[in-house]
Amino acid sequence: MHITIYTKVKVIAAFLLTYLFSYTAAADKVEVLHWWTSKGSEEKAIGSLKSDLAKRGIGWQDMPIVGGGGGNSTTVLRARVSGGNPPTSAALLGYAITDWAKTEGALANLNDIAEKQNWAGIIPKALQKFSKHNGNWVAAPIDFHSTNWVWINKSALDATGGKVPSTWEELVTVLDAMKANGIIPLGHGGEAWQEMTIFDSIFLSLGDDFYQSAFIDLDPKALGGAKMLEAFNRMAKLRTYVDDDFSGRDWNIVVSMVTDGKAGMQIMGDWAKGVILNAGKEADKDFVCIRFPGTQGAITFNSGQFVMFKSDNAEQQAMQKEMASSIMSEKVQFNFNIHKGSIPARTDMSGDNFDSCGQKAIKDLAQADADGRLYGSMAHGHAAPGEYQSIVYDVVTAHFNGEMTSEEAVEELVASIEDAKKL
Ligand code: BGC
């Protein structure tokens, strides 16, 4: 993986944190590993689970690992488990859940609580693919995110004439106008996962079939075809709208640049909205949310799900069940997602108290699900297993940083994915 010095420092810090505070689960507490550390939004979201557990008589040992996208958290989790000291529970994304589920004896079975709360009837099928393994429930989803969003500063958009872009060409026109108006057109943080989040959207905008065959089926023809070259060319075009200091910038700093009007827009999952709302901004008045032009009606999704690590301790087992039940309760699903910017991972809840972007997200999910247009996000671990995801990360970030041309990126991607298939 393309790792900057900045990222390395963050990973080392994460490790230090783990070992300094290495902790063995106590009888009255759950120890929870996650990466939701953004002040205000993510911290409040995870706080709503913590306070619901407190009402159920369960204490909370927090194990937050800094690093957007969850990469550092996954690394620390691996170290904890191989050191024989797994946490009670950890938040994971997509194929990382499947990997742990395949690890003999690692995860607790949540079938009885799933049955009691009718998870099969309320969790979107696209998420159940990851919550279940070999027919058994192994994870409880706490949110439903989509990554194909653009968050636009309303005044900055108005200053360009106010037309919301609905095609690639219109997006480029707005970005050019923002540049002419003297602001950074595209706010961006130079980390592989953030670059990949933009790439998800570009990919989907080139067609559902293309996204499906290249990213989910890993078909070499699609991976090496003309649309792939176009995708890299569009990435290179977007690179021209980013400021010089983007390298290593955290995603939530970028959100502040957009809310402050320093940058015009950000292409990012809806956790960005949690930060925008927490800054006291209002949808439609201060900012506009749109689906990345060309992806209207379709969704690239990801979802944080909690797995429980198997324990011999009966009290720990009981608390794990209670925690799973709390995660899937309407109350926690509502409070968590209101702060996080996402929507509930249950399809039976009303969207009435969500802001207009949240209501749109709930409608979009129902529609995309009915139309068969829900696709797992490659950036956030739901399109293909980790070994393929890291290849795409490497190539996309190297290309974005000018280390290869679009033609070289396409070639490298096809060759590395074909090599990985042979392993
Ligand atoms: C996660 C979100 C998180 C974001 C930033 C995504 O991969 O699904 O829950 O807010 O990364 O860390």
pLDDT (tens digit, 9 = 90+) per residue, 180-226?
999 999 999 999 999 999 999 999 999 999 999 999 999 999 999 99
355 pLDDT above the threshold of 60: yes
Q: What is the mean pLDDT of residues 289-299?
A: 98
State if residue 70 touches ligand 1 by the CB under 6 angstroms criterion.
yes
CA 68 to ligand 1 center in whole angstroms:
6
Domain span(s) for CATH 3.40.190.10 in the chain = 14-145+302-375, 146-300+378-421
Output the residue whose Cα is nearest ligand 1's atom 1: 69
How remote is the CA of residue 202 from the centroid of ligand 1, in Å?
Answer: 19
Residue 7: pLDDT over 50: no
Q: Is 86 in the pocket of ligand 1 (CB under 6 A)?
A: no
Rg, Å, the chain Cα set: 21
Give the CATH number of domain 146-300+378-421: 3.40.190.10
Distance 69 CA to ligand 1 centre (A): 5
What DSSP state is assigned to residue 24? -
pLDDT of residue 13: 55
**Non-local CB neighbours of 27 within 8 Å, separated by 6+ positions:** 313, 315, 316
Atom 9 of ligand 1, nearest CA residue: 304
Task: Read off the amino acid at residue 12.
Answer: I
5 Cα to the center of ligand 1, angstroms: 22
Beta carbon of 388 within 6 Å of any ligand 1 atom: no
Two structure tokens written together for 28: 């009255």
State whether the beta carbon of 34 lies less than 6 angstroms from ligand 1. no
Which residues are CB-contacts of 93 (< 8 A; sequence separation ≥ 6)? 70, 302, 303, 304, 305, 380, 381, 382
Of 298, 299, 292, the closest CA to residue 171 belongs to 292
Q: Check: CB of residue 186 under 8 Å from CB of residue 236.
A: no
Burial class of 303 by CB neighbour count within 10 A (0 to 12, 13 to 18, 19+): buried
Nearest residue to 173 (alpha-carbon basis) of 233, 241, 236, 235 = 241
Domain 14-145+302-375 architecture: 3-Layer(aba) Sandwich (3.40)
Measured CA to CA, the distance from residue 152 to residue 382 in angstroms comes to 26
